Amino acid sequence: MAEQFDLVIRGARVVTGGAETPCVIGVTAGRTAAIRPLGAAAAAPRVIDLGDDTVLLPGLVDTHVHVCEPGHADWEGFATATRAAAAGGITTLVDMPLDSVPVTVSAAALEAKRRAAAGRCHVDVGFWGGVIPGNLAGLGPLRDAGVLGFKCFLADSGSADFPPLGGRELAAALGVARGLGAPLLVHAENAEAAAVVGQAAGPRYAGYLASRPRGLENLAIAQVIEAARATGGHAHVVHLSSSDAVPMLATARRDGVRVTAESCPHYLTLAAEEIADGDTAAKCSPPVREAANRELLWDALRRGVVGMVVSDHSPCLPAMKAPDFGAAWGGISSLQLGLPLMWTQARRRGFTLSDVVTWMAERPADLAGLRRKGRIAVGYDADFTVFAPDEDFTVDPARLHHRHPVTPYAGRRLRGVVRCTLLRGEPVDPARPRGQLLTRAS
C-alpha cells in the first residue's frame, strides 16, 4: 500500500540534506512528513510532479527586512512586503524594529506591530526587538512577548527615535541578550569616526563612498568582537560590506567568540565603479564598495566567515531617492530579487544551489531560532520554492510587488525564476493572506 499524505511532490532535483537529491516529499498537516527515494509509492489528493528544469528548494528565510508599518505604511506595508517576499521564494521574514512608528523597543510597541500585521501577511513574519539607550530593563518583557532577538546601532540610524548605543551600553546589552538566550544584531559603524569624516553631499557616488570608509566598519566590528568576547553573548554583524573586517571575524571565531556575520545581495552583486553619479537607488549604509572588495566578500562566504545572505530590504518613498547622495534615503529595495541575484552571481563562481540554500534559508533560520524553517526535512514546515535555475529574465520594476518599484537592478538580466512558492504545503495566493506571526516558540 502506498503511504497516504495530504500532498505529494515528486522531483528529480530537491535540495535536502546539503545536496540535490531525486525524491518524493510527503506533506501532512502543513509539515514535511516523509522524504523517500523518487520511485517510492506515495499517494495524496494533490500531487505535484516537477519538471527536470526546476529544483525544489526550502522556502527562503530573510531575517533583515524593514516593513515600516505602522507609521510609514506609505513606504512599505506588510501586505506589499510579504507579496514581494513570496514572489521571490521567501516564505519567512523577520521585521526590523525601526522605520515604523512606534519603534519596537517595548512589549507595547511589539503589540502595535502585530496588530498592523495581523491578517495581512502572505508569508510568515517574525520580529526583532530594538535596543536603545535606557531600555535594557524592557528586553526581558520583549523576549517574553515573542521577539526572536534584538537589534542595535553603533552609529546614527537615521531615525531620531532609535539612537545608537555606546561601547558600555553595547556590552551591557550583549550580557542581557545572553541571559535571555537571544542574539544581538549590530549595525557596526563607528559613530566617533563617522563624526570626524563628515557627511556627503551632491550627486557623486565617489563622494558618498569616501564619507563611509571601511574604517568605520572595521573599528565598530573590533568593538563588537571584544564585547562578545567579554560577555559571552552572541553578536551578529548585519550587512557586512568591508572585506577588511573578515580577518578579524575569522580570528575571533577561531578563538571561540560568539560572533557571526551576514552580507547582502547588493554587496555581492554591485560594485562602486559601476554606480553612476546621481543613481541613489544604489545608496545604502554601509555603502556598496569596489569590485575587489566584493570578490573578497565572496571568498568570505566560501570560507564560512560570512555565513548568510539577507536582503536588508529598506524601502522609502520615491521622492526620498532624489539624486543627491547626501540627502537621499540610504536603503535598497530588493526583497523580491534576492534569490536570482545571488544565483546569478554564485553560479559564475562555482557555487551550487545547496550553497545558496545554506546562506539564504538554513543559517538565517538558525540565527532567528526558527526550528521548523529553512530546510526540507521531516518535521519542518512544508515551505517550498519551485525554482527554474536556468531560465533568464530582465528586471522590470513594474513587475515588482514591494510598495514602490525603486530598484538599482532595473534592466539587469538575471538567471533563475521562481515558478511557485508554497507555505505549509499550499501555494501562496495573493488574494488570500495566510501568513502566521511567529514568536520565539515557533
Dist. CA 350–CA 246, nearest whole Å: 21
pLDDT score at 187: 98
- The per-residue pLDDT of the chain, averaged, comes to 97
Instruction: Print the domain residue range for 7.
Output: 3-52
Dist. CA 116–CA 70, nearest whole Å: 6
304 and 183 both lie in a single domain? yes
Which cell is 55 given? Answer: 529544483
Report whether pLDDT(287) > 70.
Answer: yes
Number of separate domains in the chain = 2
pLDDT score at 2: 85
219 and 265 both lie in a single domain? yes
pLDDT in tens, 73-91: 999 999 999 999 999 999 9
pLDDT in tens, 152-182: 999 999 999 999 999 999 999 999 999 999 9
Which of 369, 403, 434 finishes a domain?
369
Report whether pLDDT(442) > 70.
Answer: no
Please check whether residue 199 lies inside any domain of the structure: yes
Mean of the pLDDT values across residues 268-279?
98
pLDDT score at 161: 96
> Contact at 8 Å (CB) between 106 and 138?
yes
Dist. CA 397–CA 111, nearest whole Å: 33
Angle (CA) 107 109 110, round 5°: 65
pLDDT score at 174: 98
Give the rounded percent of residues in the chain with a pLDDT score beyond 90. Answer: 98
Residue whose C-alpha cell reads 517574553 in the numeric block: 144
Please check whether residue 377 lies inside any domain of the structure: no
31 and 168 both lie in a single domain? no
How many CA atoms lie less than 13 Å away from 19 in the CB half-sphere? 3
23 and 150 both lie in a single domain? no
Please check whether residue 157 lies inside any domain of the structure: yes
pLDDT in tens, 407-434: 999 999 999 999 999 999 999 999 999 9
Report whether pLDDT(335) > 70.
Answer: yes
Q: Name the DSSP letter for residue 165.
A: P
Dist. CA 96–CA 75, nearest whole Å: 14
Nearest residue to 391 (alpha-carbon basis) of 122, 23, 51, 4:
51
Please check whether residue 248 lies inside any domain of the structure: yes
Which of 319, 337, 369 finishes a domain?
369
42 and 190 both lie in a single domain? no
Please check whether residue 394 lies inside any domain of the structure: no
pLDDT score at 199: 87
Please check whether residue 396 lies inside any domain of the structure: no
Nearest residue to 343 (alpha-carbon basis) of 306, 294, 309, 319:
309
CATH number, domain with residue 238 = 3.20.20.140
272 and 321 both lie in a single domain? yes
Which of 352, 369, 386 finishes a domain?
369
Please check whether residue 379 lies inside any domain of the structure: no
Name the H helices within 124-166: 139-145
Dist. CA 8–CA 419, nearest whole Å: 18
CATH number, domain with residue 9 = 2.30.40.10
46 and 74 both lie in a single domain? no
pLDDT score at 217: 98
20 and 169 both lie in a single domain? no
pLDDT-based confidence at residue 198 (cuts at 50, 70, 90): confident
143 and 241 both lie in a single domain? yes
Mean of the pLDDT values across residues 265-285?
97
174 and 315 both lie in a single domain? yes
Report whether pLDDT(440) > 90.
Answer: no
Mean of the pLDDT values across residues 315-334?
95
Report whether pLDDT(441) > 90.
Answer: no
pLDDT score at 317: 96
Q: Tell me, what amino acid is at 157? A: S
193 and 314 both lie in a single domain? yes
pLDDT score at 93: 98
Please check whether residue 160 lies inside any domain of the structure: yes
pLDDT score at 101: 97
Give the rounded percent of residues in the chain with a pLDDT score beyond 70. Answer: 100
pLDDT score at 52: 94
pLDDT score at 339: 98
Mean of the pLDDT values across residues 87-113?
98
Dist. CA 152–CA 129, nearest whole Å: 9
